[in-house]
Structure 1
Amino acid sequence: MTFVLAQWLVTTFAVISLVHVYWALGGQWAAVAAVPQIPVEGGGPKLRPAFKPRGWMTFLVAAALLVIALLVCLRVGWWLPAVHHSALQWVISAIALLMFARAIGDSNLVGFFKEVKGSRFARLDTWVYSPLCLVLGAGLLAVAWV
């Protein structure tokens, strides 16, 4: 079962990485739902992106997600020889903790306990992104320690 879980994790991280590469290259599909939005100063129902992601930073995120997929491959021996060193367990566990922290959020823009609500991003974050981070974190812990 751990191997099947690892395959799902690797596939999920690889797909999310490819989406980030698409955005880094200028793709616009779903980009509005990928960045937290904040109210425009001066009141009103208008929202604006909280930040403008730069291409190189988006590539960096894509690379990090791909590295996570490769670490899982190393742990279970999928495409690469399995590595059972305790350092790899702890690195994957630390990444799992980061996933849990992302799900909990920064108390302002992302996570289950965010304050800024009502935007498309906020709804997707509550129902898709944060739950996915919880599942990914739990899966990473399972792969690291089972």
Structure 2
Amino acid sequence: MIVLPIISCIILLLLAFIHVYWAFGGKKGIIAVIPQDNHNQRQFTPGKWITLLVAGCLFCACLILGIQSSLIPLIKQPKLVSILSFFCFLVFGLRAIGDFNYVGLFKKIRKTSFSKMDTIAYTPLCLFLSFTFIYVFMTK
């Protein structure tokens, strides 16, 4: 079942590159990726360095998944990779559950452009990634 980690690594790399694009001034798709309140006001405005940090974390998650699933071959997988793989499972799983207001399965705000995209794309994607990390963690 190597297909799941391959698909997930590709997704994580694409997301990392999109965040780099946004960090350096890209505007495409930016409207629907930041949580909004009922008046369509953004809840925060991420800066360049925070956006690059997110890109770096996504890239690291890709590396962790690649190593844990043996897509990136190492002679011996360090225990740290397994721990980080479980941590990624938790992070993506908690993101899918959400903050009970603006993001995740149990959000209250549901009529903004972000919340609609969160429902149809972001939360299911986080569930998929969380599942992939726990699957690879459990099979190694």
TM-score range, shorter chain: over 0.9
Higher strand proportion (structure 1 or 2): 1
The equivalent position to 2:60 in structure 1, one of 67, 71, 82, is 67
1:20 to 1:65, Cα distance in 2 relative to 1, 3 A = same
In 1, Cα distance between equivalents of 2:69 and 2:111: 41
Change (3 A) 1:82 1:34: farther
What is the CA distance between 1:142 and its match in structure 2?
Answer: 0.8
Picking from 23, 42, 49, the partner of 2:42 is 49
- Kindly indicate whether residue 87 of structure 2 is the aligned counterpart of residue 88 of structure 1: no
User: In structure 2, do the counterparts of structure 1 residues 27 and 82 end up closer, same or farther at CA, with 3 Å as the change threshold?
Assistant: farther
> C-alpha displacement at 1:86, in angstroms?
3.4
Contact 1:109 1:116 in 2 (8 A): yes
With normalisation by structure 1, the TM-score equals 0.89
- Structure 1 stretches lacking a partner, 5+ long: 40-45
Instruction: Give the structure 1 partner of residue 101 of structure 2.
Output: 108
Larger radius of gyration: 1
| The one of 115, 124, 133 aligned to 2:126 | 133
Distance change >3 Å, CA 103–CA 82, structure 1 → 2? farther
Taking only aligned residues, the RMSD between alpha carbons, in angstroms, comes to 1.4
User: What is the TM-score of this pair, normalised by structure 2?
Assistant: 0.92
From 127, 132, 145, the equivalent of 2:138 is 145
Aligned length, in residue pairs: 139
- Corresponding residue for residue 69 of structure 2: 76
Q: Distance between the aligned counterparts of 1:77 and 1:64, measured in 2?
A: 20
